[in-house]
Amino acid sequence: MRRALLLLLGSVLLVLALATPAAAGCAISYQPGEIAPGVDNGCGGAVPWVAAALVTTSGVLAGLSPLILSAWLDAAGAVTAEADLGAMATTGTAAPVSRDDSLPEATVKVHRKDFHPRGQFDRKMNALSRLSDDGKLFKQANKVARDKRITDGYKKRVRKAILRKYWPGHKQLATKLLQRLKEQHPDHVWELQLGGPDTVSNLQLLHGRTNVDIGSQIWQQIMHLPDGTPIRIEVVG
C-alpha cells in the first residue's frame, strides 16, 4: 500500500523537486535495510525516490542525471520480494562469524579513483562509513555461505520492472533506464566481507567497475586478518 501511494504522488513530487535550483545536484541517501533510497533536494528536506523516477515528458527526461536514473533502478530492484526467488542456491562453506571486539581494530582505506562515478562512490562509501562509525563492520569468514538467488537474476528482475512500468507507453525513458542498467552490478551495500547481510534489502546497483574495485581494495587489506576483526573505513581522495 505504501509503495502504491508513493507511485500515485510521484509525478507531483517530481515537479516540486525539479522546481528548486538545488535539484540538479540531488544526492542519493541510503541506509542498508531501507526499501529504496531517498533523494535529498538540497534544501534540508527530502522527496521520495519516485519523484525522480516517474518522468514521462521528453523535456524533463532530457535533464535526467545518471544519479537520478540510478535511484530509479535501485527502487525497481528493491521491490523484488525474496519469497519470489525460487529454490535456495547456497554457495560458500564457511560458517559466519561475529565481530570480536577483543581483537585490535584495523583501518581499511578505500581510495577514490578517476573512473568511480562520484555520486555512486559517495553513496556506497557513506553507507560503509556510517556502519563503521556505528561499530558494525568486521572481517567476515571467507567464503561465508550465501544464497546465490539474492544476486543472480537481480538485473533481470529490474529489467522486467522497467518494461512492466514504462513499455510501450514511455519507450524513451525505458530505453534510457535499460541502457543505464547494462553498466551496473548488483552490490551488497554493506559488504558481505565486512559482515553485511545477504538480503535483497541490502542490494543496490553500482557501476560495475567501481563495484569490483571497491571490493578488491577492501579484500586486499583484510585477507590476512583474523575473522571477526573490527574494521574502520576511511575514504582517501
pLDDT tens digits, one per residue of 21-46 = 333 333 333 333 333 333 332 323 33
Quickly state the pLDDT bin for 223 (edges 50, 70, 90). Answer: very high
For residue 210 the three cell numbers come to: 567501481
Residue 217 dihedral angles phi and psi, to the nearest 5°: -60, -45
Predicted local distance difference test score (pLDDT) of residue 155? 85
Quickly state the pLDDT bin for 231 (edges 50, 70, 90). Answer: very high
pLDDT tens digits, one per residue of 147-184 = 888 888 788 888 888 898 889 888 998 898 899 899 99
Predicted local distance difference test score (pLDDT) of residue 166? 87
Q: Which domain range does residue 64 map to?
A: 2-82+89-236
154: which residues sit within 8 A by CB, 6+ positions away? 77, 80, 186, 200, 203
Q: Based on the structure, what is the number of domains in the chain?
A: 1
For residue 73 the three cell numbers come to: 533502478
Q: Which residue has the higher pLDDT, 43 or 16?
A: 16
Q: What is the mean pLDDT of the chain?
A: 73
Q: Which residue has the higher pLDDT, 214 or 161?
A: 214
Q: Widest CA span of the chain, in angstroms?
A: 58
CA distance 51 to 15: 8
Does residue 76 carry a pLDDT above 80?
no
Closest C-alpha among 98, 156, 126 to residue 234: 126
pTM of the model: 0.68
Does residue 55 carry a pLDDT above 60?
no
Taken in order 78, 83, 86, 88, the sign of the CA dihedral is positive
Taken in order 210, 197, 52, 17, the sign of the CA dihedral is negative
